[in-house]
Chain A
Amino acid sequence: MRKRLIAAVVAALGLMAAACGGSTTPTAPAAPITIGVSVSQTGDFSGDGKALVQGYDLWAQDINAKGGLNGHKVTMKYVDDTSSAQQVVTNYQNLITVDKVALVFGPFSSLLTIPASTVVARYNYAFPEPAGGGPHVFDRGLTNVFFVQPAAVEDNLVSYTKYLLSLPAGQRPASAAYATQDDPFTQPQVDKAKSLLEAGGIKTSYYKVYPAETTDFTPIALAVANSQADAVILGTQLPDAVAFPKTFVQQHYNPKTIIETTGPDQGAVFSGKLGANTDGIMVPAGWTPDAKAYGNDKFVSEFIAKYGGTSADISADAAEAYSVGQVVDQAAVKANSIDNAKLISTLHNGSYNTIQGPMSFDATGKPVGGVGVYIEQWQSGKAIFVYPATVASAPPEYPKKSWQ
């Protein structure tokens, strides 16, 4: 009786081999290429995958309209990583070895970018990525990673601290409250801002780190409100970026200034949940629909044409993804090749224009010499650049008006 059992096991093994080996595609003819991306469509990070896909798709449409990437027509291939390390590792190996994609672009979040980057490095592929800027991305001795944002994550709030400290002594906030997720993306930013503001003489009246899985933010928000600090600096993702202001409104707590690391930069997804009470909330941003950066008008108008809505609906994640394509496009032209080794060495030199402004990369792939991160503020239902003055389309509203 055991014989059949073993036969079944063998059959299962065979099935498994068929499942793995069956989908091998013959090498494609030279001209069209596929670019592979693993995005989180299910699981913890799934909320952020959509904007990334929109940005990449729009770039692919643009590049094909002008004749392709160095003449190669581009197709994007997206696979789901279910927000798990195991799947992201699997996906990039499959994209590279089974689908034989010509290039790969990065996923969402540092947490997935890190395991993915070592896999991609193994095959000597370039890994331009829009969302993985945590410290561990750059300390692994990899030379193929390129983080396409204006500054490494920990420096995101630096220009905000400069702005606060540039205020006349009488107006400057006397105290600040800090709360942040223990996420590698948010916490370093808030910690750096705290040390800079403390050095500038702004008293810390509250500081709390909370777990990234927290779903009920009210107790922490209450504690922040209770501190009655003049400035509130929050290390958030979208759900808490909405929850904190809501609680502040409920508590009638009106700080002079509020900045949140992520959330307010996500257009209508953010404002839809807060209504008029977005007014005055700031966010560090490398991108805004109004910026006069390279190709930005085109990006905005095409985005609206393709996905509908208004410029306020566009998420910065989409702009970052689009920038990845721009950088690769310029590098390919410069190297006169889409070969990964050539792209890698080219990307380490020179400066590249993106809708987030010009940027270049150091040996570890960290963006350097860029313009840094701007400050965006919601004013009358729109997020606009307010600092530094060179790019600002309006002066910062300070102190922030009372909630409605």
Chain B
Amino acid sequence: MTLVLEAAVLGVLTGGVYALMASGLTLIFGVMRIINVGHGALVVLGAYLSFAASRSLHIDPFLTLVITMPVMFLLGMVLQIVFIRPLKTDREALSVLVTYALALGIEGLLGYFFTANYTQLQAWYDTASFPIGSFRITYVYVFGFALCLAILAVMFLVLYRTTFGASIRATMLNRTAAQLIGIDVDRVSAVAFGIGMATAAAGGVVFGITTAFNPGSHYDLISRLLTIIVLGGLGSLRGAIVAALIMLVSEDITAVLISPVWANFVFFVILVGVLLIRPQGLYGVRVRDRL
């Protein structure tokens, strides 16, 4: 029983990280109706940027976010303007291809500059832990979780308490209508993509501290992130957060109770089961227009 509880706690803590990464992805979908298959590669890129920054400036990996988040934000806007905006016809399907090509390009460049060896971000506290009852919790997971909560909170504040956030939400609700009432949808899209990248940078730091990664790590990441946002309901931030927690907790508990080899399987069963009952996902709105 202790083990199950322990697994659940761990699942919640790591789930927070996935929630952050997935929230960027689902935001991008919500605003632009595109599936950013390159999101995993951008998370890995964020991890490498933090790795390079913390190594050359000798600063704590979490501190590097001060640099990497703005950099990734700008990069996101550039990518959106150069590669996504020109897509006029059939953009939903084509954007999958474009972002996949971006992912490959990023993987290639990272391999060129950093080699394909596994790396991991280091901090003094990455093996430190404190006891809770009969088990111990690692600081780095708690820090990561706290960071994710903070960034998610800021994101919600921006979305629900600012005028710009309102235009983002309006675009998410109905792109055409938003355009009609005078919202600059192109600008909103670029900024949303930038925000998505900035969250990817933040997710990348926590991912990079807790896991060894190499340029090829994005394949695994993106398949997990995609399943999370679909389970939660495409375009729903709340859904992404809940689904990330469901995924990680169910996996960790299955790993302990049954076997790690069935951990992913159980999650996919949950996913398929939910989609059969609610094809729009947990919090999704039934969308009539197609992808």
Q: Which residues of A contact B (CB under 8 A)?
A: 40-44, 46-47, 49-50, 83, 182, 208-211, 213-216, 218-220, 222-223, 226, 238-239, 242-243, 246-247, 249-252, 269, 273, 277, 403
Residue of B nearest to A82 (CB): B216
B93 within 8 Å of A (CB atoms): no
Least CB distance, A218 to chain B, in whole angstroms:
6
B214 within 8 Å of A (CB atoms): yes
B253-278 to A contact mask, C-beta < 8 Å, 1/0: 00110011101100000000000000
User: Which 7 interchain pairs have the tightest Cβ spacing?
Assistant: A46-B116, A210-B260, A239-B212, A250-B129, A249-B127, A219-B255, A219-B252
The answer to whether A42 and B116 have CB atoms under 8 Å apart is yes
Contacts of A250 on B, CB cut-off 8 Å? 127-129, 136, 138
Q: Find residues 133-182 in chain B having any chain A CB closer than 8 Å to their own CB.
A: 135-136, 138
Distance, CA A362 to CA B130, complexed state (A): 54
B14 within 8 Å of A (CB atoms): yes
Contacts of A210 on B, CB cut-off 8 Å? 255, 259-261
B86-127 to A contact mask, C-beta < 8 Å, 1/0: 000000000000000000000110010001111010100011
Quick one: given A250-B129, A250-B136, are A211 and B216 in contact (CB under 8 Å)? no
Most-contacted residue by chain B among A44, A218, A223 (CB, 10 A): A218
Distance, CA A47 to CA B252, complexed state (A): 27
8 Å CB contact of B117 from A43, A208, A269: A269
Quick one: given A50-B115, A211-B261, A215-B211, are A43 and B216 in contact (CB under 8 Å)? yes
Least CB distance, A202 to chain B, in whole angstroms:
22
The answer to whether A238 and B14 have CB atoms under 8 Å apart is no
The answer to whether B120 and A251 have CB atoms under 8 Å apart is no
B220 within 8 Å of A (CB atoms): yes
Contacts of A238 on B, CB cut-off 8 Å? 118, 212
Quick one: given A46-B216, A211-B261, A215-B220, are A277 and B118 in contact (CB under 8 Å)? no
Contacts of B256 on A, CB cut-off 8 Å? 219, 222-223
Contacts of B3 on A, CB cut-off 8 Å? 222-223, 226
Interface of A is mostly: helix
B60 within 8 Å of A (CB atoms): no
**What 15 additional pairs, Cβ within 8 angstroms, besides A222-B3, A252-B136?**
A47-B116, A47-B117, A214-B260, A215-B220, A219-B256, A220-B255, A222-B135, A226-B2, A243-B211, A249-B127, A250-B129, A250-B136, A250-B138, A269-B117, A273-B122
The answer to whether A216 and B210 have CB atoms under 8 Å apart is yes
Residue of A nearest to B265 (CB): A211
B7 within 8 Å of A (CB atoms): yes
The answer to whether A218 and B10 have CB atoms under 8 Å apart is yes
Q: Which residues of B contact A (CB under 8 A)?
A: 2-3, 6-7, 10, 14, 107-108, 111, 115-118, 120, 122, 126-129, 135-136, 138, 210-212, 214-217, 220, 251-252, 255-256, 259-261, 263-264
Most-contacted residue by chain B among A42, A238, A403 (CB, 10 A): A42
Residue of B nearest to A182 (CB): B261
The answer to whether B6 and A41 have CB atoms under 8 Å apart is no
Contacts of B120 on A, CB cut-off 8 Å? 242, 273
Contacts of B215 on A, CB cut-off 8 Å? 42, 46
Contacts of A83 on B, CB cut-off 8 Å? 216
Quick one: given A46-B216, A219-B256, A246-B127, are A41 and B7 in contact (CB under 8 Å)? no
8 Å CB contact of B261 from A40, A209, A222, A242: A209
The answer to whether A47 and B128 have CB atoms under 8 Å apart is no
Distance, CA A169 to CA B72, complexed state (A): 60
Least CB distance, B259 to chain A, in whole angstroms:
6
Residue of B nearest to A404 (CB): B127
The answer to whether A49 and B220 have CB atoms under 8 Å apart is no
Residue of A nearest to B127 (CB): A249
The answer to whether A47 and B260 have CB atoms under 8 Å apart is no
Quick one: given A239-B212, A242-B120, are A216 and B126 in contact (CB under 8 Å)? no
Distance, CA A223 to CA B216, complexed state (A): 28
The answer to whether A211 and B118 have CB atoms under 8 Å apart is no
Distance, CA A247 to CA B210, complexed state (A): 10
8 Å CB contact of A251 from B122, B135, B211: B135
Distance, CA A339 to CA B67, complexed state (A): 59
The answer to whether A216 and B211 have CB atoms under 8 Å apart is yes
Quick one: given A216-B210, A220-B260, are A50 and B111 in contact (CB under 8 Å)? no
Distance, CA A211 to CA B215, complexed state (A): 20
Contacts of A243 on B, CB cut-off 8 Å? 211-212
Residue of A nearest to B7 (CB): A219
Contacts of A223 on B, CB cut-off 8 Å? 3, 255-256
Distance, CA A218 to CA B260, complexed state (A): 11
Distance, CA A213 to CA B122, complexed state (A): 22
13 A/B residue pairs, CB under 8 Å, sorted by A: A42-B111, A43-B216, A49-B116, A50-B117, A210-B255, A210-B260, A215-B220, A219-B7, A226-B3, A243-B212, A246-B126, A252-B136, A403-B127
Residue of B nearest to A220 (CB): B260
Distance, CA A46 to CA B215, complexed state (A): 9
Distance, CA A211 to CA B259, complexed state (A): 10
The answer to whether B116 and A242 have CB atoms under 8 Å apart is no
The answer to whether A216 and B216 have CB atoms under 8 Å apart is no
Contacts of B264 on A, CB cut-off 8 Å? 211
Quick one: given A222-B6, A250-B128, are A208 and B212 in contact (CB under 8 Å)? no
